[in-house]
Structure 1
Amino acid sequence: MIFDVNETLSDMAPMGQRFEDVGAPAHLARTWFAGLLRDGFALTAVGVNEAFATIAVDALSVVLDGQPLERSVEDAVQHIMEGFAGLPVHADVPEGIGSLQHLGIRLVTLSNGSASVAEALLDRAGIRDHFEMLLSVEDAGRWKPAADAYAYALERCDVDPADAMLVAVHPWDIDGAARAGLATAWINRTGGPYPGYFRTPDLQVGSLTELADELAR
């Protein structure tokens, strides 16, 4: 089972406070994150594999420009990035991951961010030892949802696509994995609709604990 990390495992709700700390509106946190994903996808589409952190920092400088900041842009960027590096996991993650491991399922992560960020996140949550490997697209050469990213994870795990499942909150990630031949599970914590233009996930659940319960059946 291959897990996305950012927003799927990590809870990004505290980022709004980080933006408010520096004098920017909290809603810019979502604008910033959506923008950095968009730009990472755009670079991947033209064959460029830029590091997540590099895009994140530059994208922050862009969205903070013109805001009534209470400190320099450089200090504001540093404060926000420190918050990103210290995010917690969602409340359902520790129990859900423990239950999935108890089922005998191999667990790995595949992030568009760095493996070190995933490692720190899981260490803080006390669940790092539940995961066999922490993988990053930095080593795959392409960001998800490019097929090469999923192929890299499958190769590292030595499994066929039909024997793997991608777990994510992002419909674009679900769609990419499905097109690469993986089974998919969409974690829909908000109860929102799934976009009809993406391939439908094999499973739709509200949490990782629900996912474990569904698979246990």
Structure 2
Amino acid sequence: MTIQALVFDVYGTLFDVHSVKEQAEALYPDHGEAISKRWREKQLEYSFLRQLNGQYVPFSQVTQDALRYTLLELKLHVTEEQITTLMETYLTLDVYPEVSSVLETMADKRLVVFSNGSHDMLDPLIEQSGLADRFEHLVSVDDIKQYKPAPASYMHALNTLGLKREEILFMSSNGWDITGAKSFGFKTAWINRNGLPVEELNLDPDRIYDDLTGITEWQ
């Protein structure tokens, strides 16, 4: 069946979450990379735990809690000003260099963002990037308070589009997100920016690309 819509994850797929390390390095010399790496790990861990525990809070709160934990774990001094400054970097993450041209090439498809990010994080990020007018919808799991990879989250994206599952190509750089979308019934393209192995869950992606340029074959 022909692909009608391209659905993009945001963090790590369209935007580089580790672009926060420059500001982290400025605030905490020699710790920028460690902060960036651990912050992302805890951000994902907390979203998974909250989903499993039925204790949903918006992704902005998850992200802030993960940051505070990271700084404490690394035994760094924590002030509210530093927390605020680092949280603001999530509103201006670097967009990957190929994104704009790929979106232009694929403009004949319905283009949608689908993210765990809450709208207070997601909307300003997309707007400042200059990409907002490329997308038909900015879909957030915050609308239903069910984090990916819960099936209900992908159902929310499906209902928003009003298509059949097999008419949707879902793209993410996160292997866990690809497995969730594949299990739900979407076509999947893993944007494997870090050259990682496929997850051992018997839910292999339909395509694997080094970056988003590869999806242009779905025209």
- Aligned pair count? 211
RMSD (Å) for aligned C-alpha atoms: 1.6
Question: Gaps spanning 5+ residues in structure 2: where?
Answer: 1-5
- Is the 1:142–1:148 contact (alpha carbons within 8 Å) kept by the matching residues of 2? yes
Q: How does 1:9-88 map to 2 (within 5 A)?
A: 9-23=14-28, 25-26=31-32, 27-65=34-72, 67-69=75-77, 72-88=78-94
Question: Gaps spanning 5+ residues in structure 1: where?
Answer: none
- Is the 1:164–1:182 contact (alpha carbons within 8 Å) kept by the matching residues of 2? yes
- Is the 1:64–1:73 contact (alpha carbons within 8 Å) kept by the matching residues of 2? no
Q: How does 1:49-198 map to 2 (within 5 A)?
A: 49-65=56-72, 67-69=75-77, 72-101=78-107, 104-197=108-201
Q: Deviations over 1:83-109 (max 9, x none)?
A: 1111121111111111111xx211111
Q: Deviations over 1:19-45 (max 9, x none)?
A: 222226122211111111111111111
Moved more, 146-155 or 115-124: 115-124
Equivalent AA in structure 2 for residue 93 of structure 1: V
Distance 1:127 1:28 in 2: 28
Q: Deviations over 1:140-192 (max 9, x none)?
A: 22000000000001001111212112110000000000111111010112233
Secondary structure at the aligned position of 1:201 is classed as: coil
Greater per-residue strand proportion: 2
Distance 2:100 2:124 in 1: 14
Confirm or deny that 1:7 pairs with 2:12.
Answer: yes
- Corresponding residue of 1:203: 207
